[in-house]
Amino acid sequence: MSDYWSDKTVFAHVGRLELASVTYEVVADFTQPLPTAFSLKITLRGLGVYLGSTTMNPIANGALAIDIAPPIGGKAAGNVSGWGAVDSKGAAVPAADAAWKDASAVSFLITAAANVTLSVAAIMGLVPGLGWAARAALALFGSTVTVNIGHKAVSLPIHRDASGNPIQPN
């Protein structure tokens, strides 16, 4: 298994400091049948600190959930939909092609939101010295924040060798 594709979305930053980000990674294991060869890992970070992750192996239509680690706390929930293969003309590979031998790409959609519980102590734990700013932000916005962390349409080409077998991209 090795990385097939990855993408990182930064939600907010101050200068080069990333306040919040989500990283998507797709790994392929072509020793498995093509419909089950791909897995998805989603990782959340706040101020560069790991907050949580989840892995869907193999990728399939269904729910995702991430427990957000202390000191922040909360949950992220989402969904993968539209998982499937498409042929070279962009049409869905028919169900009769169970091995996806005519597939030229796989595609899916990720949607997710995080409900994060913030406190002055949690913010101070991540960024010491921001007590006054944390108190002001919590007074203005409350302590529970819902953040849209994903609406990502993904389409990945399937690379093949001269014999038509799936291979890792160069």
Output the pLDDT for position 57.
Answer: 96
In a domain, 23, yes or no: yes
Going by C-alpha positions, the residue among 101, 73, 100, 62 that lies closest to residue 84 is: 100
| Residue 47 pLDDT | 73
Domain assignment present for 83: yes
Residue 12 located in a structural domain: yes
| Helix, strand and coil percent figures for the chain, each rounded to 5 | 10, 55, 30
Average pLDDT, the chain: 85
Residue 29 domain-assigned (yes or no): yes
Residue 32 in any domain: the answer is yes
17 contacts 162 by C-beta, under 8 angstroms: no
Length of the chain: 170
d(Cα 129, Cα 15) in Å, to the nearest integer?
18
Q: How many Å from the N-terminal Cα to the C-terminal Cα in the chain?
A: 14
CB 53 within 8 A of CB 44: yes
* C-beta neighbour count of 150 within 10 angstroms: 21
Q: Does 65 reside within a domain?
A: yes
DSSP H stretches of helix in the chain: 120-126, 131-141
Q: Is residue 116 situated within a structural domain? A: no
The rounded distance, in Å, linking the Cα atoms of 42 and 39 is 10
- Confidence label for 125 from pLDDT (cuts 50, 70 and 90): low
The reported pTM is: 0.82
> Domain for residue 115, yes or no?
no
Domain count, the chain: 1
Give the three-state DSSP class for 30: coil
Count of helix runs (H) and strand runs (E) in the chain: 2, 10
Domain that holds residue 12: 2-89+153-160
Contact 100, 81 (CB under 8 A): no
pLDDT at 130: 65
What digits encode the pLDDT tens for the residues 32-86? 999 999 999 999 987 778 889 999 999 999 999 999 887 778 888 999 999 999 9
